[in-house]
Amino acid sequence: MADGKRSRRNPAVAAMEAERMRTGKILVRICGKEHGLEEYEKVNFVRVVSRRYNLLIMADYLPIIGELEGDVFFRTAEREYHRENLKGYFMHKNNEFSLMLKSEGAHE
């Protein structure tokens, strides 16, 4: 039955996931009210600096979910990105880092 379940998946999505797993790169998705959905591919690492913890998430990192009140930094081969003063929730699973923002740029 497991084989039948896998065959129903979209082949294009399965191919993208296989490529990401083979190269060990991370896909970052940020969903917020101001900019909508942003996607960054081939990310080398993600750093989460929050009130409660300081995480460095790399490819093939264990699944993690948490609340964010702080900053997120991530780097591709070409560029480093900084997002500061964020509030929301994040999840990292299967080399996909998803960040759902409640607010950004809020100072308290």
pLDDT in tens, the chain (108 residues): 455 555 567 887 777 666 655 554 899 999 999 889 999 999 999 999 998 889 999 988 899 999 999 999 999 888 899 999 999 999 999 999 999 999 877 554
pTM, to two decimals: 0.74
Q: What is the pLDDT of residue 5?
A: 53
Cβ neighbours for 106, distance < 8 A, ≥ 6 positions apart? 85, 87
CA distance 36 to 31: 5
What is the CB neighbour count within 10 angstroms for residue 45? Answer: 16
CATH superfamily of 2-104: F0F1 ATP synthase delta/epsilon subunit, N-terminal (2.60.15.10)
